[in-house]
Amino acid sequence: MDRSSEIREFLRTRRARITPEQAGLTPHTGPRRVPGLRREEVAQLAGVSVDYYIRLERGRTRGVSEAVLDAVARALHLDDTERAHLFDLAQPTTAAARARRKRPLAPQRVRPALYRALDALGVPAVVQGRRLDVLAANPLGYALFADFVSRPRRDRNFARFVFLDQAALSLFTDWERVAGNTVAGLRLYAGRHGDDPQLTELIGELSLHSDTFRRLWADHDVRAHTTGTKRFHHPVVGDLTLDYVVLAAEDDPEQSLAIYTPEPASPSVEALGLLASWTSTTTAVPTTERTRNPPS
CB 291, CB 135: distance < 8 Å: yes
Kindly give, in sequence order, each residue whose CB lies less than 8 Å from that of residue 269, ignoring residues fewer than 6 positions away.
262, 263
Q: Is the pLDDT of residue 152 over 60?
A: yes
Q: What is the pLDDT, as a whole number, of residue 30?
A: 65
Mean pLDDT of 151-173: 95
Residue 187, Cβ density class (10 Å: 0-12 exposed, 13-18 middle, ≥19 buried)? buried
Measured at the CA of 181, the angle between CA 168 and CA 194, to 5 degrees, comes to 110
Among candidate residues 86, 75, 87, 89, the one with its CA nearest the CA of residue 40: 75
pLDDT tens digit sequence for 70-108: 999 999 999 999 999 999 998 754 444 455 555 677 788
215: helix, coil or strand? Answer: helix
Distance CA 168, CA 234 (A): 10
Distances (CA, A) of 152 to 156, 157, 177: 7, 10, 27
pLDDT band at 145, cuts 50/70/90? very high
Mean pLDDT value across residues 104-119:
87
Q: What are the CA-CA distances from residue 97 to residues 65, 103, 188, 255 (Å)?
A: 16, 10, 19, 23
Lowest mean pLDDT among 15-24, 90-99, 106-115, 195-204: 90-99
pLDDT of 261 above 70: yes
CA 186 to chain centre: 4
What integer pLDDT is reported at residue 284 of this predicted model? Answer: 54
Regarding pTM above 0.85, the answer is yes
Query: What pLDDT score does 285 carry?
Result: 55
> Cα(210)–Cα(285) distance, rounded to whole angstroms?
28
Nearest to 245 by CA among 111, 122, 126, 85: 126
Mean pLDDT is lowest, of 13-22, 84-93, 101-110, 246-255, for: 101-110
For residue 126, CA distances in Å to 91, 111, 147, 285 come to 31, 14, 12, 14
pLDDT at 199 over 70: yes
Estimate the share of the chain in helix, then strand, then coil, as percent rounded to the nearest 5.
Answer: 55, 15, 35
pLDDT for residue 291? 46
- Name the CA dihedral angle for 257, 262, 263, 268, rounded to a multiple of 10 degrees: 170
- Can you say whether the dihedral through the CA atoms of 141, 264, 247, 85 is positive or negative? positive
Cα 93 to Cα 108: distance, rounded to the nearest angstrom = 26
Alpha-carbon gap, residue 129 to 142, rounded angstroms: 16
Cα 141 from Cα 154, distance rounded (Å): 19
The per-residue pLDDT for range 55-67, each reduced to its tens digit, is 999 988 888 889 9
pLDDT category of residue 290 using cuts at 50, 70 and 90: very low
% of the chain with per-residue pLDDT over 90:
69
Q: Is the pLDDT of residue 296 over 50?
A: no
Other Cβ atoms less than 10 A from the Cβ of 140: the count is 24
* Structural domains for the chain: 3-102 (1.10.260), 112-291 (3.30.450.180)
- 163: phi then psi, degrees, rounded to nearest 5: -95, -20
pLDDT above 70: residue 287: no
pLDDT at 293 over 90: no
Q: What pLDDT is attached to residue 52?
A: 93
- 23-27, 40-44, 133-137, 185-189: which has the minimum mean pLDDT? 23-27
| Residue 82 buriedness (CB in 10 A; 0-12 / 13-18 / 19+) | buried
Q: In this prediction, what percent of the chain has a pLDDT beyond 70?
A: 89
